[in-house]
Chain A
Amino acid sequence: MLTLAKLAFRNVFRFKRRTFITLSAVSIGLALLIISISLLNGIDKQSISNIINCQTSHIKIFKKGYFDKKDELPLNIRIEDPTPVHEKLAGLKGIRASENRILFGAGLIKDMDELPCLGVAIDVEKDPEIFNIKESLVQGQWLDPKKSQMLVGKDLAKDIGLTVGDRVTVRMVTSSEDEDFSWNALDLEISGIFDSGNPGVDSQRLFIPMAIAREGLSMEKAVTEIVVRLESGDEKFVDRMKKEIGQILVSEGEDLEAFSWKDLAGTFLLISKMKSKNSAMIIMIMLFIASMGIINTMLMAVMERTREIGMLAAMGMKKKEITRLFVLEGSFIGAIGAFLGCFLGGMAGWYLETKGWSIKAMGESLQDLTSAFYPVKEVFYADITFELLLMTFLFGIAIAVLAALYPARKAAKMNPIRALRHI
Chain B
Amino acid sequence: MSLVKLKNISKIYRNNGLNFPALDGISLDVQKGEFLSIAGPSGSGKTTILNIVGCLDTPSGGTFHLDNNDVGSKNSSQLADIRRHYIGFIFQTFNLIPILSAIENVEFPLILKGGISPRERRKVAAEILAEVGLGDFLHRKPSEMSGGQQQRVAIARALVKKPQLILADEPTANLDSKTGREILDLMTAMNKKTNTTFIFSTHDKMVMEYARRIIMLRDGKIESDEKRG
Contact = CB atoms under 8 A, between A and B. Distances in A.
Contacts, number: 65
Contacts of B98: 14, 308
B56 A417 contact: yes
Interface stretch (A81-89, A225-233, A313-321): A313-321
Given A319-B77, A417-B51, A417-B57, A14 B84 contact: no
B218 interface: no
Nearest to A6: B104
* A contact patch SS: helix
Nearest to A416: B56
Interface in A8-32: 10-11, 14
Interface string B99-140: 110001001110111000010001000000000000000000
Contact of B80 (A2, A11, A308, A313): A313
B145 interface: no
A316 B80 contact: yes
A2 B81 contact: no
A314 B112 contact: no
User: How many of chain B's residues touch chain A, expressed as a range?
Assistant: 20 to 34
A75 B13 CA distance: 96
Interface in A282-320: 307-308, 311, 313-319
A1 interface: yes
Given A11-B99, A416-B56, A317 B93 contact: no
A1 B118 contact: yes
B118 A315 contact: no
Contact of B104 (A2, A307, A314, A317): A2
A316 B122 CA distance: 20
A365 to B, nearest CB: 56
Given A2-B104, A420-B91, A315 B83 contact: yes
A4 B122 CA distance: 15
Nearest to A14: B99
B76 interface: yes
Contact of B77 (A7, A14, A318): A318
A377 B107 CA distance: 64
B100 A7 contact: yes
Contacts of A14: 98-99
A307 to B, nearest CB: 6
7 contacts: A1-B122, A7-B99, A307-B95, A311-B95, A317-B112, A318-B81, A420-B95
Given A1-B118, A315-B109, A420-B91, 7 more contacts: A307-B95, A308-B95, A311-B97, A313-B56, A315-B108, A317-B84, A318-B80
Interface of A: 1-4, 7, 10-11, 14, 307-308, 311, 313-319, 321, 416-417, 420
Closest 10 CB pairs of A and B: A316-B84, A316-B83, A311-B95, A1-B118, A10-B99, A318-B80, A2-B104, A316-B80, A314-B89, A416-B56
